Chains A and B, each alone.
Chain A
């Protein structure tokens, strides 16, 4: 069965600093990988996804992620964090039976941004 590990529960960065959120996955086949962000009181918003092709994926809000098969990782990065990026970030792997997909999420990383 697939699984996702986000080793960092809570990260604090200064505004303007770079950010990297770690994600490791376990999945027997080609993984479909996603990063979602959840702001307080909001639903989960997709930042980016990877399912094939270029291993460096660009997303919304200036985020990018790199798929590294050898390390089973899909880390999320942003070169310069803004205060509005404070939220909870979830990595997920998609799998399915051929029709609908299901997402398996990590436990999330809460990002705090200091001014």
Chain B
């Protein structure tokens, strides 16, 4: 069964450093998402991406964040200058886009980001 994959599984970085989290969505999917879950808190929407542009972003997704689909398979989340409060589990998801709002989003296993 096709699945969303994410690398690395765990990333440790120093405050102020740039990090890139990588995701490979399911191959025929058209919509891509990033969510995050701070330890002990709920999963929060960050951004959705379709047709090579951002569809919607939350207030969390400020200028420090960016997303990119650099090739036909990868979807990345970049944090330019990490802060302690960026420590969280980051989930990538994708959906096939047939009916957009009601589509199932398939989630990857997550990348745990630790900012020291």
Contacts and interface: CB of A to CB of B under 8 A. Distances in A.
A70 interface: no
Nearest to B41: A107
Interface stretch (A18-26, A38-46, A61-69, A78-86): A38-46
Interface in A22-70: 32, 34, 36, 41-46, 49, 51
B42 A101 contact: no
A49 B101 CA distance: 12
Nearest to A48: B104
A49 B102 contact: yes
Given A42-B109, A95-B101, A99-B50, A107 B4 contact: no
A88 to B, nearest CB: 10
B87 interface: no
A100 B55 contact: yes
Contacts, number: 78
Given A97-B56, A100-B33, A100-B50, A105 B102 contact: no
Contacts of B43: 44, 90, 92, 103, 105, 108
A43 B4 contact: yes
Interface size class on chain B is 20 to 34
Contacts of B33: 100, 102
Contact of A99 (B100, B104, B109): B100
Given A94-B101, A97-B55, A100-B100, A44 B107 contact: yes
Contacts of A104: 45
A94 B50 contact: no
B44 interface: yes
Interface of A: 32, 34, 36, 41-46, 49, 51, 90, 92, 94-108
16 contacts: A32-B101, A41-B109, A43-B91, A45-B107, A90-B42, A95-B101, A96-B55, A96-B100, A98-B101, A100-B50, A100-B56, A100-B95, A101-B95, A101-B102, A101-B103, A105-B42
